[in-house]
Structure 1
């Protein structure tokens, strides 16, 4: 008899819950969009009200309306939510204030207690664990940023002087693939998830995505296409002071995830250009019975590599340390139209990530020989070919492009002894779809563009953008 696992995958823009069988096959899935992040004064960015929990409840209930199987055959749920966020909770488990997004400037510094009513400070996974199980436990692998945690051992610091947050406000840390607790009767009533099933810890969302994409330590780079775009490699050693990558906790005990620099609001730029091009694109796509993104892919496929000299730098959201940064589209002339802009954005994403990936590999002294692309953008054949052409290596995608949700389910499968090891779980649950080989002529063109033009656009325009920022913001 088939057994099923819930893979909960909550990102910056949506909550997705999928029912997988133990061989990684998607049985049923439902996605609900989160409300737009509220951007406030002084760099604040919040998920409004109790949106993460509200969305999870709605998504689960909608999912079970689609599910034709027996809920009694669900053996567990892997819980994954957005990293680098902060949830401040009351004693009863409710939020004291809305969850702080990873975009919030307050996440760049340690938390200090604001009010006597605050009982706990935790991550999104810790908060949702408490909602689902009533437990004050959390995966140690989702504590990325200014927490009082040893980044190598992933234990709370023993030195009390390192705590800006009182230790009693912090949750108990557990390894990934550990049973956190069981779904309570109240949570079952609210979500439709059967009461009593185990809720399993995962990791930070990028590490879980690496697991769900089948990432192994063999020179393969995973390019993750999300609101934050990054590239990743798997490793076993912790490096406290790398120059061109970050060392993050992995999805299984004893591993680390090496993560390159990335693009903030990355795939949001694709949504931006779609909306900018207006209703004509949406209407024509609807007539053809395809998504607007697919229609834009068809149009942009006729644009030559290099977009006829139109280049895009993806600084739609500046880094906190470079608040003057802005996105750039450079090189317009009269023949450029919407499809050129769309392709230029895709090429800008791929070229930026190639430079970031290569810098990481060079520092690690690893030959980049293969890439895996995950996330919704990997559905587009044009985008996959652009990645292969720019990187100059084969680009693979898997049957499940939402790899984080599958990674969440794999963590549950490991915790529940469905599989004995990471390798066995990947072999049985991660299924390859297809591969794109680089066009050598296009690769050579992109290399020349990158070395002679694209790499130099940000630094060439940096001083002008600083002056502009000072003018627009009153020379403060």
Structure 2
């Protein structure tokens, strides 16, 4: 019998589900796009209705419907969901309001313990775990941000001040397990909804970035992972919970490990999709690979520098500079859509090269290679730009959904298909296509970066002034 695991990867834009064997081969997939966020002027950004669970149901049903093997050979489920979300549940585990996105201002603020509707405060993974298993338990490795958790022990804090500061008494919080540990078993109700066989064990993973790193095989100090998703960040492995100004610390996707994460781009590959949709006439074209390939082909014919265009990628500004805006600078009438597309991709690569350089300095390391994951890694043009701007070889993973593969690895270790994490990674992770830096392009981007890296010295005062000018006057009648 060939044994399989079911990997659930609930990301910011879609939920992807894969049936994976012990060698990392994918035998069936399903995918359901999430609906657009529901937003309000006061900074509330939520997943409308029960969208996260609905997308899990749809993607699981698709994947299992496409699986040509025997569903009885699927032996476990690995669950990975979006990090930094907050789910407020009643005593029965139902949402009392839609799940708060990581972009919602409330996830960085204390919970109101006086809200009597709420019996449990948890993450998106804690909520989906309850929907799948009926248990109030969650992975300890998905608690980044404002939670009363001890970073050194990955346990709930022993300091009463931590609970007071977050507004989350221990009675509202779920029990925690480590990555690779059992969360529970699929209930008959969940089986009916998702087509997952009832009784299958569900295993914990971590936050989605850490799970992605595991699925990329990030296990040494010499490689940096560039995650090209809705949120773009660079990551490296670490052994301590101590951070610094130029990187912060995540829990890793194997027990007792940490992931060091650079500063990032809050609407990274989303900006690429935004421009694609504009080219299409403003109508969203989800997953239109043909149009993206067409734009990539046109942009690949444009020399480095995009005809003088430079893109500053603050379409969603950082929290410490909320007045920033995205910008395209350098139009002279000679550029077209290919130049704009290339400028956005170059802006991503140059911005992240700067963030990685600062993280390297803080860590006292120099990474010798780059592994690239996320939707952006499917673009050969983007991969080549990473190699050229970083002046290092870059490779993608063979399986495009690295977080899904990471979830599969956690399930495979948990259920015993592999005896340990290193064995599982060696068996299941296969490197994909590699891209070498081109000397001429490396020199050109080094020259461009000397200008690009200073642009905000000039645009910050402009955007800060513009934001102040747009505020209603306090003395207006």
| TM-score > 0.5, shorter chain as reference | yes
What's the CA shift for 1:280? 11
- Give 2:323's aligned residue: 324
Q: Distance in 1 between matches of 2:424 and 2:8?
A: 18
* Runs of 4+, deviation exceeding 6 Å: 280-283
Q: Distance in 2 between matches of 1:309 and 1:271?
A: 22
Q: Distance in 2 between matches of 1:48 and 1:280?
A: 22
Change in 2 beyond 3 A, CA 1:172/1:439: same
Q: Is the counterpart of residue 464 in structure 1 residue 467 in structure 2?
A: no
SS at match of 2:5: strand
Task: Give deviations 1:312-369, integer Å, cap 9, x for gaps.
Answer: 0100001222110100111111110000000000000011011001110111011121
Q: Is the counterpart of residue 430 in structure 1 residue 429 in structure 2?
A: yes
Q: Distance in 2 between matches of 1:470 and 1:279?
A: 32
Q: Distance in 1 between matches of 2:180 and 2:415?
A: 8
Question: Would you say the 8 A contact 1:9–1:79 is kept in 2?
Answer: yes
**Alignment TM-score, normalising by the size of structure 2:** 0.96
- Give 1:193's aligned residue: 196
SS at match of 1:57: helix
What's the CA shift for 1:277? 1.6
After superposition, residues 255-274 of structure 1 pair within 5 angstroms as 255-274=257-276
What's the CA shift for 1:423? 1.5
- Give 1:50's aligned residue: 50
What's the CA shift for 1:421? 2.1
- Give 1:38's aligned residue: 38
Question: Would you say the 8 A contact 2:31–2:58 is kept in 1?
Answer: no
Change in 2 beyond 3 A, CA 1:281/1:337: farther
- Give 1:347's aligned residue: 346
Q: Distance in 2 between matches of 1:112 and 1:321?
A: 24
- Give 2:135's aligned residue: 135
Task: Give deviations 1:94-144, integer Å, cap 9, x for gaps.
Answer: 101110000011111222225212110000000011110011111100000
- Give 1:278's aligned residue: 280
Question: Would you say the 8 A contact 1:282–1:292 is kept in 2?
Answer: no
- Give 2:4's aligned residue: 4
Question: Would you say the 8 A contact 1:203–1:251 is kept in 2?
Answer: yes
State how many pairs are aligned.
470
Q: Distance in 2 between matches of 1:136 and 1:216?
A: 31
Structure 1: state its 5+ residue gaps: none
Q: Is the counterpart of residue 145 in structure 1 residue 148 in structure 2?
A: no
Query: Aligned-pair RMSD on alpha carbons?
Result: 1.7
Structure 2: state its 5+ residue gaps: none
What's the CA shift for 1:204? 0.3
Q: Is the counterpart of residue 214 in structure 1 residue 217 in structure 2?
A: yes
What's the CA shift for 1:279? 5.0
SS at match of 1:264: coil
SS at match of 1:248: strand
Task: Give deviations 1:445-464, integer Å, cap 9, x for gaps.
Answer: 1011112x101111211011
Q: Does 362-371 or 271-280 show the bigger shift?
A: 271-280
Q: Distance in 2 between matches of 1:159 and 1:383?
A: 46
- Give 1:388's aligned residue: 387
Q: Distance in 1 between matches of 2:83 and 2:46?
A: 14
- Give 2:181's aligned residue: 178
Task: Give deviations 1:373-413, integer Å, cap 9, x for gaps.
Answer: 01111111111111000000000111112100100010111
Change in 2 beyond 3 A, CA 1:384/1:412: same
Q: Does 157-166 or 388-397 show the bigger shift?
A: 157-166
Question: Would you say the 8 A contact 1:4–1:73 is kept in 2?
Answer: yes
Q: Is the counterpart of residue 82 in structure 1 residue 82 in structure 2?
A: yes
Question: Would you say the 8 A contact 2:4–2:20 is kept in 1?
Answer: yes
Task: Give deviations 1:32-82, integer Å, cap 9, x for gaps.
Answer: 100101111221110111111111111111222211111100010100100
Q: Distance in 2 between matches of 1:417 and 1:304?
A: 51
Question: Would you say the 8 A contact 2:395–2:433 is kept in 1?
Answer: yes
SS at match of 2:404: helix
- Give 2:251's aligned residue: 249
What's the CA shift for 1:475? 5.0
What's the CA shift for 1:426? 1.1
What's the CA shift for 1:278? 2.5
